[in-house]
Chain A
């Protein structure tokens, strides 16, 4: 295996981009990530992105955004209709194969032009669940009820997770929802929006984008004072049909954690891409996160959930903690699909 590291990250996130297209959003982010390590597109061996046409409401929308990269002369490029964390995985595989030493990975989501809670219904199977058009909050509330009635979690614990995000996000300029004053009492006093879920249980929807530069071996050491070496990366998937799953669990998250070696040593920090407090609770259990691990110091995805980028943003946030020497060993997590159906875990270390 080659040693591969995250050497540069750049991101932007806000509540809604009201006068910016996806390509206008990504030009400064991609340039910032590349120029921070002194690279231009000519120095990049492979480029991979993640996004969804269902957010843009436009077929092949990612092709427009490719204009932000500068693809002349022609570049080696790929795209996944997934969170950018999966684009990072593809780039990591490409680097493992060899032949290239650097990769640019980016993803973005602008869900504000549509109704995200309805757009997400198109993830469901088109014959049995899709025609019922259950919105994303109602589906999450069904899981929350199962978890509460089963004793998997308490409302108090969910409120604690919400407060952790609100308080942590207070110092994060990219967060779109934060409160230094929030307490479990104030969260529990909120009126539920999809009973039993309260507003603070549901991630704050955001628009944004993120770009990451990967480099292999000595190239990474040249470019970055303290590269975030990817020591393990794995993604797993649970069944699509929610009726066949135990919604108190996310076995694919546990499998990804085991296969990426997350539990082999102390983790200083973990950044989780859970769109609901219920799912953040499940992830903490499945990933085996202990007391010594700072979970979502940034506020996590709850403080700002950019569809298709929230996972790569978590990996970027975790890597940044290695870059600036606040942590030695970190975990970045990404999820996709209904009820954490798909999970990706990326474990990174500093030297």
Chain B
């Protein structure tokens, strides 16, 4: 064995040759071994409440028992404290854009998305964190942080137990939230204020 680990073993330094009886066999250059496993997604307690409420055009969050912070979508836990969040809060379908991105490339499986499209963190009124949505009904160049938006829902007879019920978020025309108070800036300002009080 070589003392220097960077020098390959002697057995690998020479040319690799096949046994004579395999001399004319076509070499295997690659193999494909597909893997397919199927799972039933189990949303669990918190997400079941969230998804079921969508059928009634409702958006549910959960409230932290520690400081009242509201999380949407609900996960059954305040991740800062590892505390269970059994209490639901019904949230309005209005909020503001906390951050956004303009995508100019098509994505596989979403032929319905016309490019360019805008993905955004939507911060609902009364929620402390944002969740993902599409922004439409406005030229992409005019989307901005702090812009007020409202959900555009599917027609009532097409509503299901799914976040797909919200087609997109459209501007309301109300004055913008100041950038310093928009998106996660609002969260940090609130945490800082809570810290000062404490």
> Residues on A close to B: CB < 8 A?
17-21, 23-24, 27-28, 30-31, 41, 54, 56-57, 64, 66-72, 110, 112-115, 118-119, 122, 126-127, 130-131
B residues 27-82 near A (Cβ < 8 Å) are 31, 33, 35, 37-48, 75-82
* Distance to closest chain A CB from B37 (angstroms): 6
* Distance to closest chain A CB from B32 (angstroms): 9
CB-nearest residue of chain A to B76: A24
With contacts A19-B45, A24-B45, A127-B33 known, is A72 near B80, CB below 8 A? Answer: yes
Q: Answer yes or no: B84 CB below 8 A from chain A CBs.
A: yes
CB contact between A72 and one of B39, B42, B81 (< 8 Å): that residue = B81
A130 pairs with B42, CB closer than 8 A: no
B82 pairs with A27, CB closer than 8 A: yes
B37 pairs with A122, CB closer than 8 A: yes
Residues on B with C-beta less than 8 A from A118 are 37
- In the complex, A41→B37 CA distance in Å? 36
- In the complex, A69→B78 CA distance in Å? 10
A114 pairs with B39, CB closer than 8 A: yes
Residues on B with C-beta less than 8 A from A17 are 42
With contacts A17-B42, A113-B42 known, is A71 near B37, CB below 8 A? Answer: no
- In the complex, A188→B31 CA distance in Å? 44
CB-nearest residue of chain A to B32: A131
CB-nearest residue of chain A to B35: A122
Q: Answer yes or no: B83 CB below 8 A from chain A CBs.
A: yes
CB-nearest residue of chain B to A131: B33
CB contact between B45 and one of A20, A30, A114, A131 (< 8 Å): that residue = A20
Total of A-B residue pairs, C-beta within 8 Å: 86
Residues on B with C-beta less than 8 A from A20 are 42, 44-45
- In the complex, A127→B82 CA distance in Å? 42
Residues on B with C-beta less than 8 A from A27 are 76-77, 82-84
B44 pairs with A19, CB closer than 8 A: yes
- In the complex, A130→B43 CA distance in Å? 30
CB-nearest residue of chain B to A70: B82
Residues on B with C-beta less than 8 A from A67 are 75, 77, 79, 82
- In the complex, A1→B164 CA distance in Å? 57
B31 pairs with A19, CB closer than 8 A: no
B42 pairs with A19, CB closer than 8 A: yes
- In the complex, A31→B84 CA distance in Å? 10
Residues on A with C-beta less than 8 A from B84 are 24, 27-28
- Additional A-B contacts beyond A68-B82, A72-B79 (11; CB < 8 A): A19-B48, A21-B42, A27-B84, A41-B82, A56-B39, A57-B37, A66-B79, A70-B78, A70-B81, A72-B81, A131-B33
Interface-central residue, B45, B75, B77, by most chain A CB under 10 Å: B77
Q: In the A-B complex, list the 7 residue pairs whose CB atoms are closest, starting with the nearest.
A: A70-B82, A21-B44, A67-B79, A57-B39, A72-B80, A24-B76, A70-B81
CB-nearest residue of chain A to B84: A27
Residues on B with C-beta less than 8 A from A127 are 31, 33
- In the complex, A42→B196 CA distance in Å? 21
- In the complex, A122→B75 CA distance in Å? 30
CB-nearest residue of chain A to B48: A19
Residues on B with C-beta less than 8 A from A112 are 42
Residues on B with C-beta less than 8 A from A69 are 82
CB-nearest residue of chain A to B82: A70
B82 pairs with A126, CB closer than 8 A: no
- In the complex, A45→B37 CA distance in Å? 38
Residues on B with C-beta less than 8 A from A119 are 37
Residues on A with C-beta less than 8 A from B39 are 56-57, 113-114
* Distance to closest chain A CB from B52 (angstroms): 12
B42 pairs with A71, CB closer than 8 A: no
CB contact between B47 and one of A21, A30, A57, A66 (< 8 Å): that residue = A21
B44 pairs with A130, CB closer than 8 A: no
Residues on B with C-beta less than 8 A from A122 are 35, 37
Residues on A with C-beta less than 8 A from B31 are 127, 131
With contacts A19-B48, A126-B33 known, is A68 near B38, CB below 8 A? Answer: no
Residues on A with C-beta less than 8 A from B47 are 21
Residues on A with C-beta less than 8 A from B33 are 126-127, 130-131
Residues on A with C-beta less than 8 A from B48 are 19
- In the complex, A68→B47 CA distance in Å? 15
- In the complex, A30→B103 CA distance in Å? 41
Residues on A with C-beta less than 8 A from B81 are 41, 70, 72
- In the complex, A70→B47 CA distance in Å? 19
* Distance to closest chain B CB from A153 (angstroms): 32
- In the complex, A30→B84 CA distance in Å? 11
B38 pairs with A115, CB closer than 8 A: yes
* Distance to closest chain A CB from B40 (angstroms): 5
With contacts A41-B82, A115-B37, A130-B33 known, is A18 near B42, CB below 8 A? Answer: yes
With contacts A19-B44, A31-B82, A70-B83 known, is A114 near B37, CB below 8 A? Answer: yes
Residues on A with C-beta less than 8 A from B46 are 21, 24
Residues on B with C-beta less than 8 A from A113 are 39-42
CB-nearest residue of chain A to B38: A114
Interface-central residue, A64, A67, A114, by most chain B CB under 10 Å: A67
